[in-house]
Structure 1
Amino acid sequence: MDDYKTVLIANETESEVKKSRFIGMVFHVEDETAVEGILTEVRKKHYKATHVCWAYVLNASPKRQKASDDGEPSGTAGKPILDVINHRELRDVLVVVIRYFGGVKLGTGGLIRAYGGAAGDVLNQSRIIKKQFSDQLEIMVSYSGYGNLMSGLSEKEIMAVHEDFGENVTLSFFIPVAETPAFLAWVLDQTNANSEVTMGEQAYVDVAESLDK
């Protein structure tokens, strides 16, 4: 399974293009049922809107994605939104762009720019999270080996997610799957082979990134 980026916290932005209001919204979704539920609520709240256009991409193999122009000329709304999501390599994301028509027609190019721009704006103002597919590891070392191991981990800027102090010290880590073999070899060397490793279940771990511009 591959790492991917997503947005976990819903967000909303608004802009105006030639008197039309465009409201961009982003949501975290993991299946089509969640998508339909959110779209139902958005349509209820914005029942006076001229168009409620959207696109989503789900983290699946093969990738599942869909877009809707909701009455705008074909390819001028849903596809630009979808293109923005895919360009930023996001998954498990639904982006909705609501239009309140202001009386001035934008033309094909204008619509593409307006819908793509609204999608880009809301994602620019959203916290992007990397979902990192990782091995869960527990490493047990003696107290005499603990200090040396922690010193090395500090230099490598790797932090344990949990420490348990009993008869020995047990440290828990989430390590990216591709990096696990090298990490375990390093631990073996750092502890002079006086360590015991237990492999847990693999899981996605959230890694915060800076605001994605």
Structure 2
Amino acid sequence: MDDYKTVLISDETEIEIKKSRFINQVFHVETEAEAEALLVEIRKKHYKATHVCWAYVLNTNPKRQKASDDGEPSGTAGKPILDVINHRDLKDVLIVVVRYFGGVKLGTGGLIRAYGGGAGDVLNQCTMIKKQFSDQLDLIVSYSSYGSLSNGLLEKGVIPVNEDFGENVTLSFQIPVADTHSFLAWVEDQTSGTAQLIMREAAFVDVVISKNEK
């Protein structure tokens, strides 16, 4: 399974352009039903809004995506939002931009910039993560091997998610699937082949993305 980027939790920003309010919201969603349920709630909350425009992209195969202009001129709202999501290569993401019209028309170009800019604004603020498909594994090593192995792990920047000290030392790791073979070869070399390996089912692990990587 492939790694992908998404948002960790919902977030919201607001901007004003020529007296119109644009409320920008982002959500993590994994199904169309989940997205539709959120849209129902938002429409109820903002029942006086002029437009509730949105787009989402789901991590399906093939990728599932959908957008709505909600009464704005065709292609001026939903598509710009969708373009921002795809440009940042995000999945399992719903972005909603709610507009309260302020009496001044923005024109086609102005609407595209407003809706695309609103989507970008809320994404710049929110916390993004990489869903990293990782092998879950335990290494059981002797105390004599633990010292040199832990020093090597520090140098490699690989941090165990858990350490258990009993008769032996059990170290638990979440290793990107693509890196598992080379990591285990390195462990075998560090411990002279004495480490015992327990492999568990691979799963997605959340890795926070820094603002510089957005």
Same fold (TM > 0.5):
yes
How big is the shift at 1:23? Answer: 0.7
Q: Which residue in the other structure is 1:18 paired with? A: 18
Task: Give unmatched runs, 5+ long, in structure 1.
Answer: none
Q: Within 2, Cα distance between the matches of 1:124 and 1:169?
A: 42
Report the count of equivalent residues: 213
Matched, 1:204 2:204: yes
Matched, 1:42 2:42: yes
How big is the shift at 1:167? Answer: 1.6
Q: Within 2, Cα distance between the matches of 1:206 and 1:8?
A: 8
Q: Which residue in the other structure is 2:166 paired with? A: 166
Q: Secondary structure at the match of 1:25?
A: strand
Letter paired with 1:109: G
Task: Give unmatched runs, 5+ long, in structure 2.
Answer: none
Q: Which residue in the other structure is 2:65 paired with? A: 65
Letter paired with 2:99: R
Percent pairwise identity? 74
Q: Which residue in the other structure is 1:106 paired with? A: 106
Q: Which residue in the other structure is 2:129 paired with? A: 129
Q: Which residue in the other structure is 2:4 paired with? A: 4
How big is the shift at 1:199? Answer: 1.1
Q: Which residue in the other structure is 1:153 paired with? A: 153
Letter paired with 1:132: Q
Q: Within 2, Cα distance between the matches of 1:177 and 1:210?
A: 22
How big is the shift at 1:135? Answer: 0.5
Q: Which residue in the other structure is 2:193 paired with? A: 193
1:83-133 Cα deviation digits (max 9, x unpaired): 000111111110000011111111111110000000000000111111111
Q: Within 2, Cα distance between the matches of 1:54 and 1:173?
A: 39
How big is the shift at 1:196? Answer: 1.1
How big is the shift at 1:140? Answer: 0.8
How big is the shift at 1:8? Answer: 1.6
Q: Secondary structure at the match of 1:147?
A: helix
Q: Secondary structure at the match of 1:115?
A: helix
Letter paired with 1:75: G
Q: Within 2, Cα distance between the matches of 1:65 and 1:190?
A: 47
Letter paired with 2:105: K
How big is the shift at 1:35? Answer: 0.5
Q: Within 2, Cα distance between the matches of 1:79 and 1:173?
A: 41
Q: Within 2, Cα distance between the matches of 1:168 and 1:64?
A: 48
Q: Within 1, Cα distance between the matches of 2:195 and 2:11?
A: 46
Structure 1 segments of 4 or more deviating over 6 A? none
The RMSD of aligned alpha carbons is: 0.9
Q: TM-score, normalised by structure 2?
A: 0.97
Q: Which residue in the other structure is 1:96 paired with? A: 96
